[in-house]
Amino acid sequence: MAKFVVVGFPGSDAVWLADIDNGTVTPINPAPSPQLDVVNQIRAAGGTVTKDVNLAIAVDSADSAFSGLFDV
């Protein structure tokens, strides 16, 4: 089963599609579907949307992630 994750960060309108199996990240702006546009509006209003992901942590650098240095 292929694994893809749609990601957006606070303070940015950008939305990204990460293809985990291929190790690629691609911008998907503007929203390609009405459903993704609705989700983008929710996060623009300060909401957080998660589905089928049980771990997601934004870090300042790859070094932080590899060393386990992040706030929980």
Q: What is the pLDDT of residues 9-50, one digit of tens each?
A: 988 888 999 999 999 999 998 767 888 889 889 998 999 999
Output the DSSP codes for 6-69.
EEE-TT---EEEEETTTTEEEE-PSPSSHHHHHHHHHHHTT-----S-S-----S-HHHHHHT-
Q: For residues 22 and 64, what is the distance between their CA atoms, to the nearest angstrom?
A: 23
Per the document, the length of the chain is: 72
pLDDT at 48: 92
pLDDT of residue 61: 87
